[in-house]
A and B are shown apart, each in its own frame.
Chain A
């Protein structure tokens, strides 16, 4: 009977044809936790909208004594792909890559924006960023009084174009379905107003200025926090889901890498090192050695994930999570959207100037239908004597590929993530030497070696109090250690770096030497005196 249920479930998973709803996601996470003893599912708490923030803890033995990676999806509610790639990574890890868990731990957060994620499945679909907290975005004293309206009743919020010489937009030459800004340098006269679908509900002359959504997860962190901007809030880390995540991360000093499946990308191209910004008190450039590391990991990404970079210019936005993980949490922070619309050439073999035109050309080449709402005339109360049409590219489709593509994307990214994790620091005690200075007196010499391509501490990590130092414990009483430390703290070791440890110890018998830190793992040897 139990077997039957499992089979049915996994059959259902394979049958998934669209991105999973929150309930489906929770069911799949539960199934992973039930099937694999290495996985534990926890809810960190609930959002303002009453949705669980899930973490899947994956590892063996003492999870917090091994180097770890946090894999985070759903940093933007509209980026439903990130949630699925994170989930599929967990599945791949548990079904076919368990051997990596001997030395690594993974904390997997599939969806940090469940309130906004819901909008993909709601009767009215739009690319939502904010959670369910009540927020007065335009700061006029009234909450969410002017959100979107679905004027053509098609279940999507798209765009409106209003025939008007005041509007400043003209029809695009690249694709007549699209509009572009009139060119002031060419003294071009506009023919359309171009606005998101909606009406001026509060008649204040502003259009959709106070949306029915709250704070965006990916715009509300403390690094370069855009104070008082819409969706950001009044101060950083104001939302429960952010605090739950950060409290969890800060309590786990074994985390070495934070891998975000979200809009920012430092893997198609590494973050540039800018000396002047790196040297200020408030650091706004990746530090030099970390930039070299990023460069190497970007190269590896290009070799592992066959997505040719195109328009990957987002290397971080104010208040986002990916930059917080490096600049404030001081971890190795990697981020990729996991997919983007590939580059398509025009009939003249040129690049499109408009990313939307490029998208429509790609959709065409893929035979994708149903990505554009045709312009349809409607009556608009704000423009009583004007021709108003609703239409445009459907929400979500430019950031999330058809669901059928997600398996191969997940496979590539699983391979990449595992290659990154395999480079985490790994300590060993090598070349042990003992010399008898007298019958009761022994000199012990041993090399502490970081057998890994990553340093034990990134350059930024060395500055943070939220890492531990490498601690070497000599298991003898202080009185018996004539030379050397009972407890020795080492700031860091380079990639394949080493340091020599020395003691002169009195007495006989077995002596245990242990070295490590939560984010490097621990090693030990026993010396017989």
Chain B
């Protein structure tokens, strides 16, 4: 009863407080804040970019975005997860300048691996930055007039909430919430982790043992260090917190999953015995299926970005060595141009190729986006230990981690060793680094890295095609005939069809149409100086153009009779629609 009264009271305060806030935002900005370059300084949607969000928190932010900027942001559910959660997607574009689904588009997602949380915040930061800066910067205004950004902050919402709300290691669940029979004993998910000390983190179990190979570091008792080969230590390691729930003599052998949502995509997909982590068949996971269906319905997507962690990498395919010939030199040049700029924009991040610099893997998302759809795609492995102390060397080694928690986070990252009576192991100690340390940015590094990765992705999105009819020439051919020659220019790096796209005719040709006058014949001009042309004898008013190259042009010509007025339209799936009138 008391509690109810208190709640009502609080809500009343909150209500009036909110009114007051709206009325005085302008005044406050004048009186209390001074603009820092590069950041929205009067955001209509206040977000703290130094923490992580549950699905409820994300939806709240996204709904506030739509409310604040209805002409720039749209929110839709593109499907349901295994547990029935919505997969939310934001469309960010200037809706007053045309249909966002016909503008060249950039697709961004995060969190395909559920423990890799920050991809979600990074993706959402990009949406927030673009909409909050739209009224401030000419560059962003033009960008959103030309382009569309489709942003799915989390494509693994079920296991995201599980990672945050349930006890986990920094690496679990990684999959979604489907449980499989990992030990093939006929029971499904019967023996996962147990949070012995009930702190929400699955840390390590160690036990005193006369034959142990480890001792606690005398100078830093948090740290277990191995002893020399001829020495006995004091402790043995027993692995992550858990018990033998099913009596089979093993601990933690069958929990959530395991499968890998990033082995489920439909380009050169391989089954689990070839590619561990694959599920039943391509897009057999409902979350990925939702993304696939959205991408198939949006052929305007010309660039894509997927946010992962960890390691400070800008990755491109091929994922598997066996797929090497899919990536040809023409497309690699474009990949290189964008990613090398990315290395400058995001210090500490390296541009790498998955199969040779990381591991050889089939069925990855970036391979389907490129191999299966012809879309230039990167995966960024967010967070690198370089961001702690600018050390270029070995990433995330134990001593550095200990120093981070000593000098930067003051003990927030580590659960001190504490004794526990284990049903099978007897007296043990439980402790170690928390699930939200290591792979995930600490709060104070989150906003900066989000901004830099956003800047890279904006650069990528900026370089999706931008088409113009740059020149139209007429020539009198005598006898009432004339030729009309139109040059179509692509002002950006990315072509309307990647060479992978051209190889398989993934996307339809671009169509350059002559309207208002009958075309007697039509052609693509291959060499204007020597009149080398390739005629299209059928349907001459609508010239099919295979590709409009990045930073290049295509020239088409029609022969017509008479002097009627005409107009020209360029209709490209990935390049958008451009109209030309005299």
A binds B: yes
Q: Which residue of the partner chain, among B274, B282, B509, contacts A281 with CB atoms under 8 Å?
A: B274
The answer to whether A246 and B184 touch across the interface, beta carbons within 8 angstroms, is no
Tell yes or no: B451 within 8 A of A by CB: no
Question: For residues 448 through 483 of chain B, which have their beta carbon under 8 Å from a beta carbon of chain A?
Answer: none
Closest chain B CB from A465 CB (angstroms)? 5
Identify 13 residue pairs between A and B in the complex whose beta-carbon atoms are under 8 Å apart, listed by A's number. Answer: A204-B538, A222-B269, A235-B266, A235-B267, A237-B281, A242-B281, A243-B284, A247-B284, A330-B273, A465-B180, A465-B184, A487-B248, A489-B185
Q: Which residue of the partner chain, among B186, B266, B506, B509, contacts A471 with CB atoms under 8 Å?
A: B186
- The chain B residues found within 8 Å of chain A, CB to CB, are 180-186, 246-249, 266-267, 269-274, 280-284, 292, 296, 322, 362, 368, 372, 504-506, 508-509, 511, 537-539, 544
Closest chain A CB from B530 CB (angstroms)? 25
The answer to whether A468 and B322 touch across the interface, beta carbons within 8 angstroms, is no
When distances are taken between beta carbons in the complex, the residues of chain A under 8 Å from B181 are 465, 468
Give the nearest-CB partner of A281 in chain B.
B274
State in angstroms the CA–CA spacing of A238 and B506 once bound together: 16
Given A246-B280, A489-B183, A140 contacting B269 (CB threshold 8 A): no
State in angstroms the CA–CA spacing of A205 and B183 once bound together: 58
Closest chain B CB from A241 CB (angstroms)? 13
The answer to whether B537 and A466 touch across the interface, beta carbons within 8 angstroms, is no
When distances are taken between beta carbons in the complex, the residues of chain A under 8 Å from B538 are 202-205
The answer to whether A463 and B372 touch across the interface, beta carbons within 8 angstroms, is no
Tell yes or no: A343 within 8 A of B by CB: no
A485-515 to B contact mask, C-beta < 8 Å, 1/0: 1110100000000000000000000000000
Tell yes or no: A469 within 8 A of B by CB: yes
Q: Which residue of the partner chain, among B185, B280, B372, contacts A234 with CB atoms under 8 Å?
A: B372
Given A203-B539, A468-B185, A517-B186, A283 contacting B274 (CB threshold 8 A): yes
The answer to whether A139 and B266 touch across the interface, beta carbons within 8 angstroms, is no
Given A202-B538, A203-B538, A282-B270, A247 contacting B186 (CB threshold 8 A): no
Q: What would 14 more interface pairs be, CB under 8 Å, given A237-B266, A247-B280, A250-B280?
A: A222-B282, A227-B372, A234-B266, A234-B506, A237-B281, A328-B281, A330-B271, A460-B273, A466-B272, A471-B186, A486-B248, A487-B246, A487-B248, A489-B185
Given A141-B508, A243-B281, A469-B185, A281 contacting B322 (CB threshold 8 A): yes
Closest chain B CB from A76 CB (angstroms)? 20
The answer to whether A463 and B282 touch across the interface, beta carbons within 8 angstroms, is no
Central interface residue in A203, A327, A328, A518, by most chain B CB within 10 Å: A328
When distances are taken between beta carbons in the complex, the residues of chain A under 8 Å from B272 are 464-466
Closest chain B CB from A147 CB (angstroms)? 17
When distances are taken between beta carbons in the complex, the residues of chain A under 8 Å from B505 are 139-140, 228
Closest chain B CB from A183 CB (angstroms)? 33
State in angstroms the CA–CA spacing of A478 and B186 once bound together: 19
Give the nearest-CB partner of B537 in chain A.
A205
When distances are taken between beta carbons in the complex, the residues of chain A under 8 Å from B282 are 222, 235-237
The answer to whether A228 and B504 touch across the interface, beta carbons within 8 angstroms, is yes
The answer to whether A140 and B271 touch across the interface, beta carbons within 8 angstroms, is no
Given A139-B508, A236-B266, A237-B281, A465 contacting B185 (CB threshold 8 A): no
When distances are taken between beta carbons in the complex, the residues of chain B under 8 Å from A222 are 269-271, 281-282
Q: Which residue of the partner chain, among B184, B247, B508, B537, contacts A489 with CB atoms under 8 Å?
A: B184
- The chain A residues found within 8 Å of chain B, CB to CB, are 136, 139-141, 202-205, 222, 225, 227-228, 234-238, 242-243, 246-247, 250, 281-283, 327-330, 460, 463-469, 471, 478, 485-487, 489, 517-518
When distances are taken between beta carbons in the complex, the residues of chain B under 8 Å from A136 are 508
When distances are taken between beta carbons in the complex, the residues of chain B under 8 Å from A140 are 505, 508-509, 544
State in angstroms the CA–CA spacing of A204 and B537 once bound together: 8
Closest chain B CB from A484 CB (angstroms)? 10
The answer to whether A464 and B273 touch across the interface, beta carbons within 8 angstroms, is yes
The answer to whether A467 and B280 touch across the interface, beta carbons within 8 angstroms, is no
Central interface residue in B180, B184, B246, B272, by most chain A CB within 10 Å: B184
The answer to whether A246 and B281 touch across the interface, beta carbons within 8 angstroms, is yes
The answer to whether B283 and A487 touch across the interface, beta carbons within 8 angstroms, is no
State in angstroms the CA–CA spacing of A185 and B508 once bound together: 39
The answer to whether A518 and B273 touch across the interface, beta carbons within 8 angstroms, is no
Closest chain B CB from A64 CB (angstroms)? 11
When distances are taken between beta carbons in the complex, the residues of chain B under 8 Å from A139 are 504-506, 508
When distances are taken between beta carbons in the complex, the residues of chain A under 8 Å from B274 are 281-283
Closest chain A CB from B371 CB (angstroms)? 8
State in angstroms the CA–CA spacing of A236 and B279 once bound together: 13
When distances are taken between beta carbons in the complex, the residues of chain B under 8 Å from A202 are 538
When distances are taken between beta carbons in the complex, the residues of chain A under 8 Å from B322 are 281-282
Closest chain B CB from A151 CB (angstroms)? 21
The answer to whether B247 and A486 touch across the interface, beta carbons within 8 angstroms, is yes
State in angstroms the CA–CA spacing of A228 and B281 once bound together: 18
When distances are taken between beta carbons in the complex, the residues of chain B under 8 Å from A466 are 272
Closest chain B CB from A157 CB (angstroms)? 24
State in angstroms the CA–CA spacing of A225 and B372 once bound together: 12
Q: Which residue of the partner chain, among A236, A281, A282, A467, contacts B184 with CB atoms under 8 Å?
A: A467
Q: Which residue of the partner chain, among B248, B271, B284, B511, contacts A464 with CB atoms under 8 Å?
A: B271
When distances are taken between beta carbons in the complex, the residues of chain B under 8 Å from A465 are 180-182, 184, 272-273
When distances are taken between beta carbons in the complex, the residues of chain B under 8 Å from A203 are 538-539
State in angstroms the CA–CA spacing of A517 and B247 once bound together: 18
Central interface residue in A236, A329, A463, by most chain B CB within 10 Å: A236
When distances are taken between beta carbons in the complex, the residues of chain B under 8 Å from A235 are 266-267, 269, 282-283, 292, 368, 372
Central interface residue in A227, A238, A460, A465, by most chain B CB within 10 Å: A465
When distances are taken between beta carbons in the complex, the residues of chain B under 8 Å from A467 are 184
State in angstroms the CA–CA spacing of A485 and B250 once bound together: 11
The answer to whether A518 and B266 touch across the interface, beta carbons within 8 angstroms, is no
State in angstroms the CA–CA spacing of A238 and B505 once bound together: 18
State in angstroms the CA–CA spacing of A243 and B537 once bound together: 42
The answer to whether B508 and A487 touch across the interface, beta carbons within 8 angstroms, is no
Give the nearest-CB partner of B266 in chain A.
A235
Give the nearest-CB partner of A229 in chain B.
B504
State in angstroms the CA–CA spacing of A246 and B267 once bound together: 18
Central interface residue in A222, A329, A517, by most chain B CB within 10 Å: A222
Give the nearest-CB partner of A233 in chain B.
B266
State in angstroms the CA–CA spacing of A173 and B84 once bound together: 66
Closest chain A CB from B72 CB (angstroms)? 31
Closest chain B CB from A479 CB (angstroms)? 10
Give the nearest-CB partner of A242 in chain B.
B281
When distances are taken between beta carbons in the complex, the residues of chain A under 8 Å from B248 are 485-487, 489
Give the nearest-CB partner of A474 in chain B.
B247
For the complex of A and B, list the 6 residue pairs with the smallest distance between their C-beta atoms, beginning with the closest: A235-B266, A141-B508, A463-B273, A487-B248, A139-B505, A228-B504
The answer to whether B186 and A518 touch across the interface, beta carbons within 8 angstroms, is yes
When distances are taken between beta carbons in the complex, the residues of chain A under 8 Å from B270 are 222, 282
State in angstroms the CA–CA spacing of A412 and B51 once bound together: 69
Give the nearest-CB partner of A139 in chain B.
B505
When distances are taken between beta carbons in the complex, the residues of chain A under 8 Å from B247 are 478, 486-487
Central interface residue in A203, A282, A517, by most chain B CB within 10 Å: A282
Give the nearest-CB partner of A467 in chain B.
B184
When distances are taken between beta carbons in the complex, the residues of chain B under 8 Å from A282 are 270, 274, 322, 362
State in angstroms the CA–CA spacing of A501 and B248 once bound together: 15
When distances are taken between beta carbons in the complex, the residues of chain A under 8 Å from B266 are 234-238
State in angstroms the CA–CA spacing of A139 and B266 once bound together: 19
State in angstroms the CA–CA spacing of A518 and B267 once bound together: 32
The answer to whether A468 and B184 touch across the interface, beta carbons within 8 angstroms, is yes
Give the nearest-CB partner of B280 in chain A.
A250
When distances are taken between beta carbons in the complex, the residues of chain B under 8 Å from A281 are 274, 322
State in angstroms the CA–CA spacing of A204 and B183 once bound together: 57
The answer to whether A487 and B185 touch across the interface, beta carbons within 8 angstroms, is yes
Closest chain A CB from B570 CB (angstroms)? 14
State in angstroms the CA–CA spacing of A234 and B504 once bound together: 10
Give the nearest-CB partner of A327 in chain B.
B271
State in angstroms the CA–CA spacing of A327 and B322 once bound together: 17
Closest chain B CB from A41 CB (angstroms)? 24
When distances are taken between beta carbons in the complex, the residues of chain A under 8 Å from B280 are 246-247, 250
The answer to whether A328 and B246 touch across the interface, beta carbons within 8 angstroms, is no
When distances are taken between beta carbons in the complex, the residues of chain B under 8 Å from A485 are 248-249
Closest chain B CB from A290 CB (angstroms)? 13
